[in-house]
Amino acid sequence: KETPPAWTRLDFEQCSNCPLNTTLTKYCPVAVNLSGIAREFREVTGSDKATVTVAVKERAYFKSGSLQEGLSPLLGIIMTTSGCPIMEPLKPMVRYHLPFAGLDETVFRTISMYLMAQFIRSQSGKKPEWTLEGLFRIYGEVKKLNKDFGLRMRAAARSDANIHALVKLNVFAVMVPLEAEKLLKEITPSFSSYLK
């Protein structure tokens, strides 16, 4: 097994909110899992045109656009499933990932996942949190991680595709908390049958 690149070491541009200890953990789990993609796309420009296909068991998704639009959801899935304690709360969303989702779809899926988690907590005898404050805290930490992780990614890139894909991901981390209340107000009439 080859040694991961130096930029994947945990002590290299470690995220400011990273709870991992450099004496116990040698490498950033996200960086190690992204190192192959970072290497593959390090010289590619994010604005390069691409047609991306995401094939899952049930269906296939296609999108023509910029390379960073295709890389961004891939980075998100890998970051969420890498064992990073900051990203771990978003892991349930991976199972029902919606490639190339818009902001409203992402906000709806995020709120749904969070409220499902609270229901599961209550079913397990733990106290649920129904106000979304916990969700906003999670996204505040993810936003910090994305910003800091960008510094790490710059060391692996000769061009901007990976970095712009990460920036695109961070837009969602910033916008989900801002758009959540607005979306809830907009969709409340759709749930009128539950309010009788």
133-137: list long-range contacts, CB under 8 Å, 24+ apart. 135/110, 135/111, 135/176, 135/177, 135/180, 136/177, 136/180
pLDDT at 136: 96
pLDDT digits (tens, 9 = 90+) for 35-79: 998 888 877 777 889 898 888 888 999 999 888 888 888 889 999
Q: Tell me the mean pLDDT in the region 121-137.
A: 96
Query: Which tokens belong to 131?
Result: 């106000």
3-state secondary structure of 52: strand
pLDDT band at 84 (very low <50, low <70, confident <90, very high): very high
CA dihedral sign, ordered 66, 107, 93, 9: positive
pLDDT band at 33 (very low <50, low <70, confident <90, very high): very high
pLDDT at 165: 73
Model pTM? 0.88
Given a cut of 80, whether residue 190 has pLDDT beyond it is yes
3-state secondary structure of 119: helix
Q: Tell me the mean pLDDT in the region 164-175.
A: 78
pLDDT band at 162 (very low <50, low <70, confident <90, very high): low
**Alpha-helix runs per DSSP H in the chain:** 29-40, 67-80, 92-95, 103-123, 133-154, 161-187
pLDDT at 1: 73
